[in-house]
Amino acid sequence: MTNQLHWPIEPVSTTLDHRIWDKLNRKTKPPGSLGKLEHLAFQLARIQGTLTPTLRDPVVLVFAGDHGIAQSGLVNPYPQEVTYQMVMNFLQGGAAINVLSNVAKMKVMVVDSGVNHQFEPSLPMIHAKMGLGTADYRTERAMSLETCHLAIQKGSEVVSSIIEKGTNVIGFGEMGIGNTSSASLIISTVCNIPLVECVGQGTGAVGDFLDQKRKTLQSAQEFHGLDSREDADTILATFGGYEIAHMVGGMLEAASRQCLILVDGFISTTAFLVAHKMQPQIKEYAIFTHRSEERGHTKALGYLEADPLLDLKMRLGEGTGCAASYPLLQMSITMMNDMASFDSAGVSGKTDP
């Protein structure tokens, strides 16, 4: 691991732990009766180092990138062109992430991480293209180690610019035909889990096509011969996409700035897994928003010992889990900040025996 890939992520302070729980337990309810909402409030207050946490200008970043293997048609039933077509749909406000974020009142920002299409510079997106898609990792690394490092750094810069404007909660989503294949390979390698347990449908690979996808990815894994002892950046450069590398850097930057990270589903969790391998303390700043139907996602969550907020049988990506879960965060801090205490409401509290 090179020195340039280091973000000073401080462990979350435990100084206020007792006071945070004391405040929550004094609310007009039995202690712990609001379950995960109380733990959410505790985590947010702890990250922000305050008894009155706030959520400011929430953003969902949708990182988009293409994958060289997708041009073979061996792992994805949809053509690669769908990536840029969906990016245009995001920009026009017609995708699932747009409508869900409208309800949650989160801003959607699209990042061109490496789509195989030249977008007009005037389009309302973040232009951060690392290339016209990655290489085909069946026969070579998806990207060079140098390019991987540059992509991680660029993702960090994208997130830094957003935090500078006042945002303190960022959801990480993505779009990229073929990226469930990259995610499967990365999870299998990092977590030392058999690849067959990590490969799922993606955009709709079923039956014989799913078997073909598994065999293709198994061959690629054997070709490179990596295992969990490899550095995180080597694994990412070998199998990853530019959108995944951008998310890695963005997540590391967010945690280093005490900004809350909302992790979406399968692909976003894969990026988090790489960031976590680089700096494990990042986990204290993350909320895993939902459990994807992609089989590899449950494996990655188990490895991280992460407990997702929702299980809605979703597997779309785009950051939709971030938007779906965000109202729960709002509820948790509103409860902590606005709900009456036993003392303020004149309600008798629990009496000790």
Active site positions, annotated: 318
End-to-end CA separation in angstroms for the chain: 57
Residues 6 or more apart whose Cβ sits within 8 Å of residue 268: 172, 173, 174, 247, 317, 319
Distance CA 209, CA 269 (A): 25
Residues linked to residue 60 through DSSP beta bridges, in sequence order? 108, 171
Distance CA 300, CA 184 (A): 10
Output DSSP code: residue 339: S
Rg of the chain over Cα atoms, rounded to whole angstroms, equals 21
Residues linked to residue 263 through DSSP beta bridges, in sequence order? 172, 288
Listing DSSP states for 291-325 in one string gives --SSHHHHHHHHHHT---SB-------TTHHHHHH
Residue 57: C-alpha distances to residues 104, 168, 315 (Å): 11, 7, 26
